[in-house]
Amino acid sequence: MRRRSIGATLTTVLLIAGLTACDSDDGSARPEQRGNHVLVPIAGGQADVDTTSLSIIGVTGDGARIAISDGAVGGLGAAGPVRITGELATWTYPDKGLTVSADSADGRLRVTVHSDRDERLAWPVTGTDPTTTALQLPRGEGLSLPVGDAFWSSPGATLIDNPLDLTSGLTMPFWGYRLGERGVSYLAPSDIGTTLTVTSTDGKLRATAAHEFAARADTRDYTVTFAITDASPVAAAKDYRAWLMQHGQFRSLADKIRTNPPISQLLGAFHAYLWGDGRTSEAIRKMQDLGLSRMWLGYDAGDDPMTRDAIDAAKRAGYLAGPYDSYANAQDPATADNPSSRWPGQLWPNGCVHDADGKPETGFGDRGCYLSSQALAQDPRVLDDRYANITANGANTYFLDVDAAGELFDDYSPDHPMNQQQDRGNRLARMRKLSGKQALGSESAGAWASTVLAYSHGSQTPVSDLLWKAERDKETWGGWSPARAPRTFFQPAELPAAAAKAMFDPAYRVPLYETVLHDSVINLDRWELPYYKLPQQQTMRALTAILNNTPLNLVLDQEQLATHGPEIALLQKYFAPLHEAAGTAQMTGFQWLTEDHLVQRTTFGDGELTVTANFGTQTYGDLPAGCVDAKLATDSTPRRLCPGK
């Protein structure tokens, strides 16, 4: 592998994102006022901001005009005079108590709106240019949606008119549009208090952000950046990756391994949650006998964790093994349904998050309450003791449920008040502490948590609300019994057609998350959607795992090992050398090779790995339908896998 300096790498990232350090021909980024308009130099041209409405037009170097945003919804009132100081333009909207500043930052237009009162602003309004063809959303790993697609404009897809919180509804705080042979990237660094709502206007998908300015929430400032990109379906992700690096918010997996070497054991590993007799030394030996070279093994927060003997057997096999824990729920210790919801002292009920009316926030699944991260932060010994107890069996990995998923709380309890900013800070602090001890993972990790995690269970899955409806049908989906092998995990199920289309149709899926974070966080599907749960999606999910260079997530007991073990071993044997070689490499390319988007190609690093997957029903070149070719830099010919055959 050819090594490059950090500076050279950053330059490459900027160029890939369509950005350069020089914002105008004369090197000056100074805005210019023309009447009610402010012109800001950006990479590829300039942004024309209309101060009467906050509408934005992008003017490219060849004179083309692109509608980047319509004006703010509901109007802003009369604008005050524009002031240009150095490279910053500012003006006000006195009726709304808003002050706006605009400048050029790393080739992007950066607009910051400050409010002197609690207020709501619906802006930017995007996707209105007549040349717009596709919307990119980081829902799970990512979606690219044709703006005129009838399915996504229909209520049945559960996308339109459903505000997506930028901290929990999306895995990363950006979105993008393709407009002919160009694109536009929208980044919202001030994600707390911000939502994105997709609507269907004349059968076309538009996306409007809205921000809640609130003093208590510390959200009185709202920043959005805008960049003209190329037409790649992952262009906005490349832009966001560049932004993270420019702002010191990216940490590589290689760096995490240097500071915590056991993380390297994740390279080449499939992940599996163990149940019943799968948690035994005997099961570990069976995995070894099958030829499983690397595994991450987890177990739920029940009363029967893996024993030290089983953990030691996993370690001898070169596996990582440890608990699934949660700091999010508190219940009455006398009646709690799992050990992780039992807390010492008066954390139940005094540590519950309280809403603005002073009532405890009911916990997930109507169980107990949500436990305040501020209440826990006030006595660090509680978590220290918790961790020591739960890892006393020698566990060498740790999964912390929901901490990184972005569901943040305002707590109005007078004993432990906090806002969402503080909640996220508390979660980051405790994950950072754990990450120094273990190979740490969490659920559906947002990019904001990427610097403290080694892996994420769920960020690969573009979850639709239709999934929750399917999971509530216990007859077809299965429930939480028997305890040794809950049917919710082990019983195969068929998704409703709309849910399967929304979540697993490869024509819509694009690796936005991997483009940003492949070389930072190892990303998997959700734990309640293990590989054999959805038989009709198995081939697609296996191809996606190889295409994205990401592991499969499984549930295992000895019966599953007997039934599926040989196939799991074949898949892991194929995956392991690819991930070991390129798991710490950047995803440097993604492209569709056919008009129907069903043949796709990814590249990693400087040619470390190239993967071509055929999700279609027709042979592409010599690549049969349902097959994938992967070629390492050291290979003379591609390695082929046909998982459905």
What gap in Å lies between CA 29 and CA 106, rounded to an integer? 10
DSSP helix/strand/coil, 217: coil
Dihedral of CA atoms 363, 368, 373, 379 in degrees, nearest 10, equals -170
Q: Where are the beta strands (DSSP E) in 417-469?
A: 439-443, 455-457
On the question of pLDDT at 9 being above 70, the answer is: no
Q: What is the CATH architecture of 253-590? A: Alpha-Beta Barrel (3.20)
**Under 8 Å between Cβ of 492 and 532:** yes
Percent of the chain with pLDDT over 70: 96
Q: Residue 28's pLDDT is what?
A: 65
pLDDT digits (tens, 9 = 90+) for 535-589: 999 999 999 999 999 999 999 999 999 999 999 999 999 999 999 999 999 999 9
Average pLDDT of the chain, as a whole number:
95
Look at residue 5 and tell me whether its pLDDT is greater than 70.
no
What's the pLDDT at 29? 83
> According to the model, what pLDDT value does residue 434 have?
97
> In the chain, what percentage of residues exceed pLDDT 90?
95
Confidence label for 644 from pLDDT (cuts 50, 70 and 90): confident
- Mean pLDDT within 140-145: 98
Tokens of 8: 């050279």
pLDDT at 115: 98
pLDDT greater than 90 at residue 120: yes
Report the pLDDT value the prediction gives residue 13, as an integer from 0 to 100.
39
Query: CA-to-CA distance for 301 and 310, rounded, in angstroms?
Result: 16
* pLDDT digit string, tens, across residues 68-92: 999 999 999 999 999 999 999 999 9
Domains 6-246 and 253-590 agree in fold: no
* pLDDT of the residue at 301: 81
Q: How many CB atoms lie within 10 A of CB 159?
A: 25
Q: Is the pLDDT of residue 10 over 80?
A: no
Q: What is the mean pLDDT of residues 424-445?
A: 97
- For the record, the structure tokens of 314 come out as 């996993």
CA 534, CA 398: separation in Å to the nearest integer? 26
Per-residue model confidence (pLDDT) at position 23: 39
The reported pLDDT for the residue numbered 25 is 40
Of 430 and 7, more confident: 430
Render pLDDT for 507-532 as a digit per residue (tens, 0 to 9).
999 999 999 999 999 999 999 999 99
Query: Among the CATH numbers 3.30.70, 3.90.350, 1.10.10, 2.70.98, which is that of 6-246?
Result: 2.70.98
Query: Per residue in 273-299, pLDDT tens?
Result: 999 999 999 999 999 999 999 999 999
Residue 12 has pLDDT above 50, yes or no: no
How do residues 584-619 score in pLDDT, each as one tens digit?
Answer: 999 999 999 999 999 999 999 999 999 999 999 999
Closest CA to 418 of 333, 361, 468, 471: 361
Give domain limits for the chain. Answer: 6-246, 253-590, 591-641
Per-residue pLDDT band at 645 (split at 50, 70, 90): confident
Which tokens is 355 given?
A: 């809403």
The CA–CA distances, whole Å, from 254 to 15, 250, 437, 453 equal 23, 12, 17, 12
Q: pLDDT at position 319, please?
A: 98
- Lookup result for tokens 């209105």: 128
Render pLDDT for 483-513 as a digit per residue (tens, 0 to 9): 999 999 999 999 999 999 999 999 999 999 9
Question: Band of the pLDDT at 302, cuts 50, 70, 90?
Answer: confident
**pLDDT (tens digit, 9 = 90+) per residue, 191-227?**
999 999 999 999 999 999 999 999 999 999 999 999 9
Q: What is the pLDDT of residue 7?
A: 37
pLDDT of residue 410: 98
